[in-house]
A and B are shown apart, each in its own frame.
Chain A
Amino acid sequence: MDDPLRLGTHEFSSRFILGSGKYSLKLIRAAVENAGAQMITLALRRANPGGAENILDYIPEGVAILPNTSGARNADEAVRIARFARALGCGDFIKIEVIRDSKYLLPDNGETVKATAALAEEGFTVMPYMYPDLNAARDLVSAGAACVMPLASPIGSNMGLQARDFIRILIDEIDLPVIVDAGIGRPSQACEAMEMGAAAVMANTAIATAGDIPAMATAFRKAIEAGRAAYLSGLGRVLPGGASASSPLTGFLGGVEGAEND
């Protein structure tokens, strides 16, 4: 079935965005392949002279690079990092992360909206990481984002869909893809997010800290595919408990006007 994930002018058949942090470069290829991922995040850092391995050499051909702006504490820094990232020649995607809280690492939605507006204007395909707030999400849509990426729980925590009800609201109200990012710790949580109607799931720590990284990437791929299939099928009905055969509310229909019928 043709069910592409659309981000700006780009299309993907995979709905699993893989993070590359916290595990060895040697395992990236296996993780990407087992995940079926077509997009992987990278960060930008100061280079060391001489001999350092190039991470791009470990990423399979055809996988889109999603640079993030980690390290940015405000919109201006995010914009600068994004421009540097694009100058590396790996496409126009940018995942905006603006964090000015070193304890919980929660994203700053206000600065994220500003950075999104500036970078969308410069032609980036902007994927903003955010705290799941409906007003901010609407502002991101207006600012030209290609999707919104609400956190499920604090980044790196593997605590799962703590923000479930607020992500649901975004899914209901926002017409862009809602990609659940950060905090997803288990395949079952990724599956639930997809069942709810999330457009994709991004995961990193759950895989990076698993006992068998490639095997966990496989498990996530299957979970995300299952959740998407369930969402598209339309979940089956749940019979309400305590249903009654009588008609206490609609029994008045067909009665005679003026007659007491309660």
Chain B
Amino acid sequence: MTIIVNGGRADCAPGLSLDSFLEGEGYDQRVIVVGLNGTIVPKGSYPSVRLDDGDALEILNFVSGG
């Protein structure tokens, strides 16, 4: 199945947990915040969130800026 990650398309196994997806992609989970279809996902619930076809993820972190 296909999901949208930060505006781009990405392949994802059906029923994969958010936790596993992030780990597989190499995100440092300590420093990111994730929005799933517009809603912020609490950090503790990454393992229990299952990804569906067409889901849109926003994965953000802090960068330098004035």
A contact set with B: CB distance below 8 Å? 19-23, 25, 28, 41-47, 49-52, 54-56, 65, 67-68, 70, 83-85, 87-90, 155-156, 202, 204-205, 208
Q: Max chain A CB contacts within 10 Å: which of B26, B27, B43, B62?
A: B62
Give the residues from 26 to 51 in chain B that come closer than 8 angstroms, CB to CB, to chain A. Answer: 26-28, 30-33, 35, 40, 42-43
B60 within 8 A of A: yes
Q: Which of B28, B33, B43, B62 contacts A43 (CB 8 A)?
A: B62
Cβ contacts under 8 Å, A51 to chain B:
26
Query: Would A43 and B64 count as touching, CB distance under 8 A?
Result: yes
B contact set with A: CB distance below 8 Å? 6-7, 25-28, 30-33, 35, 40, 42-43, 58-66
Cβ contacts under 8 Å, A22 to chain B:
64, 66
Cβ contacts under 8 Å, B63 to chain A:
42-45, 55
Residue of A nearest to B40 (CB): A87
**Additional 5 contacts, C-beta under 8 A, given A67-B62, A88-B32, A88-B33:** A19-B66, A20-B66, A46-B6, A47-B6, A47-B61
**Bound form: Cα–Cα A24–B25 in Å:** 26
**Distance in Å: Cβ of A248 to nearest Cβ of chain B:** 54
5 residue pairs A–B, Cβ–Cβ below 8 Å: A20-B65, A43-B64, A44-B33, A45-B61, A50-B27
**Distance in Å: Cβ of B9 to nearest Cβ of chain A:** 14
**Bound form: Cα–Cα A54–B43 in Å:** 17
Cβ contacts under 8 Å, A47 to chain B:
6, 27, 31-32, 59-61
Residue of B nearest to A202 (CB): B66
Per CB-CB distance, the 10 closest pairs between chain A and chain B, nearest first, are A43-B65, A19-B66, A50-B26, A204-B66, A21-B66, A20-B64, A47-B61, A46-B6, A49-B25, A49-B26
A-B interface contact total, Cβ < 8 Å: 97
Query: Would B61 and A88 count as touching, CB distance under 8 A?
Result: yes
Query: Would B62 and A84 count as touching, CB distance under 8 A?
Result: no
Query: Would B64 and A65 count as touching, CB distance under 8 A?
Result: no
Query: Would B33 and A87 count as touching, CB distance under 8 A?
Result: yes
**Distance in Å: Cβ of B15 to nearest Cβ of chain A:** 21
**Bound form: Cα–Cα A70–B25 in Å:** 26
Residue of A nearest to B22 (CB): A49
Cβ contacts under 8 Å, A42 to chain B:
62-65
Residue of A nearest to B64 (CB): A20
**Distance in Å: Cβ of B42 to nearest Cβ of chain A:** 8
Residue of A nearest to B10 (CB): A49
**Bound form: Cα–Cα A39–B35 in Å:** 27
**Bound form: Cα–Cα A83–B41 in Å:** 11
Residue of A nearest to B41 (CB): A87
**Bound form: Cα–Cα A42–B61 in Å:** 10
Query: Would B60 and A84 count as touching, CB distance under 8 A?
Result: yes
